[in-house]
A and B are shown apart, each in its own frame.
Chain A
Amino acid sequence: MQRPLVAIVALGVFAALAALLPLGYLGLRLVEGFDSALAELMRLRTLELLLNSLALTVSVSLTALLVGSLQAWLTVRSDIRLPGLFAVLATLPLAIPSYVLALGFLSIFPWLQGFWASWFVMSIATSPYVFLAVSAALIRTSSTTEEVSRSLGYGKLQTLVRVTWPQVRPAAFASLLLVALYTLSEFGAIALLRYDTFTRAIYNAYRGSFDRTAAASLALILVAITLVVIYFERRYRGDNFSSPVAASRRVPTALGIGRSVAEIGLIVVAVLSVLIPVVALCVWGLSGSSSLDLPQLLAALGSSLSIALASGLLIGAFAIAIAIWHQRFRSRVSATIEASTWVAHSLPGVVVALALVYFGANYLQPLYQSIWLLIFGYLILFLPNALAPISAPIAQVPKSIEQVARSLGLRANQALKSVVLPIAAPGVLAGVAIVSLTVLKELPATLLLKPNGVDTLATRLWQATEVLSYAQAAPYALLLIIIAGVPALLLNSQARKLVSEVG
């Protein structure tokens, strides 16, 4: 049995420890100031935040489930015209960071705020996740099972309830929980729409008063809720029914007169969710173009791109190390490392940033207020995002190819370097690109961890919105959509597969 390179082990262990930092920080705060934390938790305000966060999370999740499932069924199973186009339209909101979406609506309706506004914007931003998951499940579901159900005496609606839905349910629930996590940890859109949830309160507690105890106590509750949701997400994810048959041909359900209604409905959703905010931003961008500070924009673009690229490469290196370790030298240790990187997954960016600020200020002085602490924060936040797309292509390289290389005289590590990695390279690069694009859009951790004097597109946008200058914010928002959102959507393999299958 050959061992992995020392470098691989070192990177893996480092990443695993880094992932445990945020939880460690919260634990530390709890031990240090248990009484004050308890006092903070017992405040009425905390209860209000809890109810607000839960209300938003539950309502957004259910709305996304309804809208996304309906879009999925109509595109995959009904006889609407141009299903490929509607599939693209339904995934488009993925190209717009949720705070940009919120900004787009706010720039037309400045009075938008509170629960309903947040509900509306977050539902638009998250429906595509349900849409993609349910569409994929519907495509996997053989429509022959539906015909069998009909032949056994069940009508269309009964068949939908008893045969189609049970087969789609695991995927739908998994995406529902994903949406819940997304909503719980969302900061930008909700803060813009001035709705009080945990993330906004944590940020304000820290930013406004540097009250770390209050911030940490609130973070603790948020993490507790998040962990509950993650637990369920883990439990239900991957519980898909492996269809024993290759997807058979689909027989579209004729909607009759309902077809036009459905098409109009889908168009309305697309217009609401994408067209209106983007057009609004374009109009503001044009109207403010005379006063646009171009050097500032270019500086922000430059630092955004360089930070995103550096983070992507660094996170990619860690992800490759862990993927190789776990895929090719699988052991109990590698499994532990892999699992612990997931601990920080779905932790709200605000919480991770808070932890790093604390460690930076107290133990890592040289790093504090440096770009490295920011990149370290991205590593904790996005390593799990990189691990999945980077592991898959490495796992897919057949073991037999590696064995052939070994039989031709290469040692295990040589075989990895000269055979496995070159074959997996395109997938690995795609993974790096996806992470870089995610970094580009990240807002709360960037706000809290960026060194003074460095500004990215996202932070410039934020500063402009704080003074309610939509014209100033619009170019940054549009640039984020163009360089981060659209490429991310194009790289989304789930979306691409879906469009090619229904189109």
Chain B
Amino acid sequence: MAFLAIAGLSVSYGAAAVLRDVSLDLERGQLLAVLGPSGAGKSTLLRLIAGFEKPDAGSISLDGVVLTEPTSLVPPERRNIGIVPQDAALFPHLSVRDNIAFGLRGLGDKERDARVAQLLELTRLAELAERRPDQLSGGQAQRVALARALAPKPKLVLLDEPFSALDAELRAELREQVRTALKAEGATAILVTHDQEEALSLADKVAVLRDGEIIQVGAPAEIYNSPADVGIATFLGDSVLVDGVVRDGKIATDLGNLTPLNQVTEGANGVVAIRSENFYLQPNPGGDSEIVGRVFFGHDAVLEVRTPKLTIRARSNGPFAPEVGMKVTVWVRGSVNFYPANT
């Protein structure tokens, strides 16, 4: 049995099903990202694991102990599961040090101080130890919240969109620090997020949650390269969807014949999802396509390209991106995922 085993979890509020038959496994020391748009049921999943809510069906067990069943619920304080809420939720009446020490019970003063010092060091908060929460920036508050959750060495740490309130630059920096801290502690953790970049860059394993159902679980690269359906393909980064028909093992589309990555049936109709960075735009005065729009981002540029039959958005290396008005030939690099219609 896995370290954390979630089986057949279902919960609904009134008529609305929030989670439907959710099952997940996680091994000790792993970091799982649950990725999904807002309203997918991510926070509810965390609240169920933490023990704040009761499911209608299913069970949760951690380290061989059943924590949640529809009939019985181990209360949150006896689960040994740490939480890092979205808004940090530091105790406003306690200093940073006392916030971190809050969950350290049954330790001698010396041990407790040592553990707090260790966490202050790990989360780079040593200079801020005596500050009050209202004197901290958003990123600092999140680090304190993480240190507070990690302090009693919980079996599992739950992070609820911990970076969503921060600006982009800080988010990237903090993400790295959090990953380092979790790994240094050997913590098993679940992070929920709606940010695919965050999920892909942080986690060992990603689960995609949509409308209360787990749609796909796998390593980050697997999820990104082989999305289970068109929905995930478009949710995870820019994809261009093009209609196609399978002929002679290839997919015939308006962009030419493409090689399928997955198993296909001869004659099937469907769509292919092509990542915008998988287009290659070859400058060619005699080409049949034309650049009609260009948004420059520095490291890359997004180009709007009018091909004979349709207009696509392609991503190109920034400094070398073609200018508006240039003629190009469009190539698709590598293989593509084909999704037959009516699935």
Contacts and interface: CB of A to CB of B under 8 A. Distances in A.
Interface in A102-159: 142, 144-145, 147-155
Contact of B76 (A144, A147, A167, A243): A147
Nearest to A147: B52
Interface string B71-95: 0000111111111010111111110
B152 interface: yes
B235 interface: no
Contacts of B83: 147-148, 151
- Chain A interface size range: 20 to 34
Contacts of B245: none
Interface stretch (B3-11, B122-130, B133-141, B333-341): B133-141
Interface centre among A142, A144, A148, A154 (most CB of B within 10 A): A148
Contact of B92 (A153, A243, A248): A243
A245 interface: yes
A291 to B, nearest CB: 59
B85 A152 contact: no
Interface string B276-309: 0000000000000000000000000000000000
B89 A148 contact: yes
Nearest to B84: A148
Nearest to A243: B92
Contact of A152 (B94, B103, B141): B103
A169 B94 CA distance: 13
B148 interface: yes
Q: Majority SS of interface residues in chain A?
A: loop
Interface in A215-238: none
Q: Majority SS of interface residues in chain B?
A: loop
Contacts of A248: 87, 89
Interface string B95-109: 000000011010000
B148 A152 contact: yes
B149 interface: yes
B77 A151 contact: yes
Given A144-B89, A148-B89, A251 B52 contact: yes
15 contacts: A144-B87, A144-B89, A148-B149, A151-B50, A151-B82, A152-B148, A153-B78, A166-B91, A167-B93, A243-B134, A244-B87, A244-B92, A244-B136, A244-B141, A248-B87
Interface string A156-179: 000000010011010000000000
Contacts of A149: 91, 102
Nearest to B99: A148
A171 to B, nearest CB: 12
Contacts of A155: 75, 77
Contacts of A144: 85, 87, 89
Contact of A153 (B88, B91, B103, B133): B103
- Chain B interface size range: 20 to 34
Nearest to A241: B92
Contacts of A169: 93
Contacts of B81: 151
A2 interface: no
B134 A163 contact: no
Given A147-B52, A151-B82, A245 B76 contact: no
A163 B92 CA distance: 9
Given A153-B103, A251-B52, A245 B89 contact: yes
A147 B85 contact: yes
A242 interface: yes
B102 A244 contact: no
A218 to B, nearest CB: 41
Contacts of B87: 142, 144, 244-246, 248
B102 A151 contact: no
Interface string B53-70: 000000000000000000
Q: Which 4 A-B pairs have the closest CB atoms?
A: A152-B103, A241-B92, A144-B89, A245-B87
A163 B133 contact: no
Contacts of B91: 145, 148-149, 163, 166-167
Given A144-B89, A242-B134, A245-B87, A153 B52 contact: no
B102 A152 contact: yes
Given A147-B83, A152-B103, A244 B90 contact: yes
A244 to B, nearest CB: 5
B137 to A, nearest CB: 10
Contacts of B80: 153
B89 to A, nearest CB: 4
Interface in A222-273: 241-246, 248, 251
Given A147-B76, A148-B89, 11 more contacts: A150-B75, A151-B79, A151-B154, A152-B77, A152-B82, A152-B103, A153-B77, A153-B103, A154-B77, A169-B93, A241-B93
Nearest to A247: B87
B271 to A, nearest CB: 39
A205 B79 CA distance: 67
Given A147-B52, A147-B76, A152 B152 contact: yes
Interface in B138-157: 141, 145, 148-149, 152, 154
A149 to B, nearest CB: 7
Contacts of A166: 91, 93-94
A152 B88 CA distance: 14
Contacts of A142: 87, 89
Contacts of B136: 244
Contacts of A153: 77-78, 80, 103, 105, 152
Contacts of B76: 147, 150-151
Contacts of B103: 152-153
A163 B77 CA distance: 14
A165 to B, nearest CB: 9
Contacts of B148: 148, 152
Contacts of B82: 151-152
Contacts of A241: 92-93, 134
Nearest to A148: B89
